[in-house]
Amino acid sequence: MLSPPAAPAQPACPPEHAAMGHCTPAAPQPTSQAASGTNLAATDSPAPPVPTDHAGDAIYGAEAMAMGRHHLDEHHGGQRFFQALLNIAEVQWRKGRQAYEWDGEAWYGGDIGRFVFKSEGEGEFGGALEKVETQALYSHAIGPYWNLQGGVRYDIRRNPSRAYVTIGVEGLAPSFFDVEAALFLSNKGELLGKFEGYYDQRITQRLILQPRAELNFAAQDTPELRTGAGLTDGEVGLRLRYDIRREFSPYLGVQYRRAFGDTRRFLRADGEDASSWSILTGIRMWF
């Protein structure tokens, strides 16, 4: 007994009709065009080459479109920026004496590489500067939140001045802690280290409490600089600021500073305080 002939293929056979046997889907017609773009089969083969022809060139001209693509690249990661930040600019009261301190940096560059200039120092009103530290660095991004920095540092102080080569890292640690760590090798062969960090705790959108800490280290005793091996000195501070504008914030605070080990002994031998508390007021600003 012969089987009934199959239903003829229909040009349009919806999937639900084919599932009930009402029609037979038409076989796909062969095409002479090679598969490309989203028509490519899913494989582990390398991605197709990036197209080098641009449709807009045929309408607006290759020169005009090349300039447009240049600006597009520039504004999506190729820009050059500048910022100057004076994180600390303050007056301090230490046991009846008035002193001042500053700490800031400025940088210019892009997302990956930039040039950085840092400066910090302190002194007493009516007296000479106690210390001025400047750094000129090149900073290179090694991750979304971290930069590797290298360059030179020069110190001006009442004791002999020093020049250093430096290498360090600076970035944003988990929970939004701003952290900086660096090593310094002087022109006299002395090796120093520094670690500092701070955190902006927002009480309101404009009132911010900033705890801050700094530790300094030395690999050897250097009597002429009044520093001993190991942990030389450290300071912790607490500053409460109010953002009149994001770029301009007056603050009040308190700070404790202490020397350790042989550094403490050197300072006492010179008749200087090895530890002190300070009440302070200042301005944080950037542009």
- pLDDT, residue 118, reads 97
What pLDDT, in 10s, does the model give residues 139-160?
Answer: 999 999 999 999 999 998 877 8
- Position 162 in a domain: yes
Two tokens at 137?
């660095």
What pLDDT, in 10s, does the model give residues 189-230?
Answer: 999 999 999 999 999 999 999 999 999 999 999 988 889 999
- Position 213 in a domain: yes
- Position 158 in a domain: yes
- Position 54 in a domain: no
- pLDDT, residue 73, reads 78
Q: Which residues contact 203 (CB under 8 A, 6 or more apart)?
A: 209
Report residue 69's pLDDT band, with 50, 70 and 90 as the boundaries.
confident
- pLDDT, residue 33, reads 60
Contact 214, 180 (CB under 8 A): no
- Position 2 in a domain: no
**Across 74-78, 166-170, 266-270, least confident range:** 74-78
Mean pLDDT of all residues in the chain?
88
- Position 49 in a domain: no
Two tokens at 221?
């005793």
Cα atoms in the Cβ-side hemisphere of radius 13 Å centred on 11: 0
Report residue 164's pLDDT band, with 50, 70 and 90 as the boundaries.
very high
Q: What is the CATH number of the domain that holds 198?
A: 2.40.160.40
- Position 6 in a domain: no
What pLDDT, in 10s, does the model give residues 10-52?
Answer: 456 777 777 777 777 766 655 556 666 667 777 777 877 777 7
> How many domains are contained in the chain?
1
Range of the domain at 216: 82-286
Q: What is each CA distance from 263 to 57, 115, 156, 188, in whole angstroms?
A: 70, 33, 19, 19
- pLDDT, residue 72, reads 83
Report residue 163's pLDDT band, with 50, 70 and 90 as the boundaries.
very high
Residue 274 pLDDT > 70: yes
Mean pLDDT of 233-243: 97
- pLDDT, residue 36, reads 65
Question: Any idea which residue has 């801050």 for tokens?
Answer: 212
- Position 25 in a domain: no
C-alpha closest to that of 167 among 212, 119, 135: 135
Report residue 91's pLDDT band, with 50, 70 and 90 as the boundaries.
very high
- pLDDT, residue 178, reads 96
